[in-house]
Amino acid sequence: MASLTARIVIRATNRQLEIPTGLFINNEFVPSADSPNNLIHLVNPATEETICSVAAGSVKDIDIAVAAARKAFNTTWGKNVTGFERSKLLNKLADLMERDQSILAEVESLNNGKPFKIARDFDIGDSIQCLRYYAGWADKITGQTIEVDNKTKLAFTRHDPIGVCGQIIPWNYPINMWAWKVAPALACGCTIVMKPSELTPLTALMLSKLIVEAGFPPGVVNTIPSLGSVGGAALSAHMGVDKVAFTGSTVTGRKVMEAAAKSNLKKVSLELGGKSPQLVFESADLEQAANWACLGILYNTGQDCTAGSRLYVQDTIYDKFVSLLVSKAKELVIGDGFDEKSGGGPLVSKTQFDKVWGYIESGQAQGAKVALGAQKRPGKGFFVDPTIFTDINANMDIVRDEIFGPVLAVGRFKTEEEAISLANDTSYGLGAGLHSNDANQCMRVSSALEAGSVWVNQYNLLNNNVPFGGKKQSGIGRELGSYALDEYTSVKAVHWNFGEKLDWPL
C-alpha cells in the first residue's frame, strides 16, 4: 500500500514539508477502499518534474465519504449545532489559514505554477476573508413570519441546510475555489464531499488537516482526490448527495447537470466558461483602460473564467490604444512562480499548453494578425507569453471559443450600438467590462451587456460580499455574497393554525 504522506522540498525557500496524500474521510487520511495502488501523479508545471503522487479515489470511496457526510449531518452538524458554533469554527479555520499562509502559497505555486506572491497575497488572502465573511453569516440565516389571519393562523419560513453537498472545484484557483464552496456550505450547516482537481489537489489536502485542527466534527468535510470522470461523475449521480456545486468547463457542466437530473434531481449550481468582452470607448482614460485590459487577459496567465479575452476598441482611438496595449503587455514577466519578478506563471499542464498553442496556431491560420507573441519558448515548463491578435472577425476560433490562456483578440467598433452587439455575440455570459468617462454611457452599456458581472472602468476584481455567477451558458446559481446562502439552503414553509376549527364532513 502506498504511503499516505509525501515529503517535498520547496527549493526556493529550502522548506521541507510533509504533505498528506491519502483520501480525507471522517477527519482521517485513509487509502482507497478498493484501489489503494491507483495514484494521481502531480507535476510542477514550471519544471515538468513530478512533485509527488496522491491516492486516486474510486466510486466506492465516494460512497464511503457521502455516508460519512450524511452521518455527520444527522448527528454532529446540520440542525444539531448552532450558528454561533459554526461561526466560531469557520473563524478558527480562517485563523489557521492565516498562520500557514506562506506555506500554503508555496505549495499552491509549486502545484499550480502561479507566482508565490500572488497566491499568498491574493488567492489565500481573499480565501481567508471569504471564510470570515461567511462566519459572520452563520448565525444570521433567518426566515420570515407571514401574516395569514391574525385571529387564527400564521405562517413562517425556515431556511434549512440542504444536506450533503458534493463540491467539484477546478485547477486555476485551487484554494480560492475551495473557500468559495466550503465557506457558505458550512455557514448554512451543510456537510461536504470535496473533489479537488486531479491536477492540483495538494492544498485541498493541506486544508483538510486544518479542518481537524480547527475542531470540525468528523465527516463534516471530506476530501477525495479523483479523476473527474470517476469522482466528479459519482458525486453528480449519487443518490445520497443533496446538492452538487461545480466550477469548470461548460462541457463538463452539462454532464454534471444531466447526472443530477437523472439521479435524484439534486440541486445544482454551475460556474462555467466564458468568452468575456471588454469595450474601450473614446472618452476612456486610455492608460488605465490598457492596464485593466492587460489584467483582464493576463492575470493568472489567462487561466480565468472571466478572462477578458475579447477586446473591442472604438475606431477613433484604435491604433493609439493597440500600441499602448502591446507595450504594456510586454512589461509582464511570465516566469517561475518563485521568481519575485514574475507576474504570471506557466500554464497548469501539458494538455492546457497544447490546447492554448492550438488556438494560437488557429488564429494565425484563419487570418488574424499577430501584434504580440505567438513564439514558443525553448526549454522546460509550460510557459506561454502574452499573445495579442488584431484584424479579427466573429467567425474565428480565437473569437468564439474559451481558450484559457494569455491570448487576446482585439477588434474595433464605430458606435455604442455596434459595441454592445459585438460584446453580446457569444453563447457565454459570465463577465464583461467597459471603459468610458461618460457616466450616462456607462449606465446604458452596463445595463445592456448580457453578463452576470459587469465591470466599469476596472476589470476582474471580485469581492466576497458581491454575488458572482453567469448567464446563458456560463452557468446557473450564484457564489459569494448573501446570494450564495440560497444555494445551500432549502426553504420550508410552516403553516400554524391556532384558532380555526374545521367542520367535517365538507
- The one catalytic residue in 52, 188, 305, 442 is 305
Q: What does the alpha-carbon distance between residue 443 and residue 462 come to, in Å, rounded to a whole number?
A: 20
| Cell 470511496 found at | 61
Backbone angles phi, psi at 221, to 5 degrees: -125, 125
- The one catalytic residue in 271, 402, 479, 487 is 271
Whole-angstrom CA distances from 80 to 76, 77, 233, 346 are 6, 5, 30, 45
Evaluate whether 463 touches 483 at the Cβ level (below 8 Å).
no
- Closest by CA to 17, choosing from 155, 79, 109, is 109
Q: What does the alpha-carbon distance between residue 108 and residue 116 come to, in Å, rounded to a whole number?
A: 8
- The C-alpha cell at 121 is 497575497
Q: What does the alpha-carbon distance between residue 32 and residue 427 come to, in Å, rounded to a whole number?
A: 40
- Closest by CA to 171, choosing from 337, 328, 43, 19, is 43
Q: What does the alpha-carbon distance between residue 170 and residue 247 come to, in Å, rounded to a whole number?
A: 6
- Map 152-214 to HEC letters: CEEEEEEEEECCEEEEECCCCCHHHHHHHHHHHHHHHCCEEEEECCCCCCHHHHHHHHHHHHH
| Cell 467567425 found at | 395
- The verdict on whether 271 is a catalytic residue reads yes
Pairing of strands 431-435, 277-280: parallel
- Closest by CA to 17, choosing from 25, 9, 29, 5, is 9
User: Is the backbone of residue 431 left (phi > 0), alpha (psi -120 to 50) or beta?
Assistant: beta
Q: Which residues are catalytic?
A: 271, 305
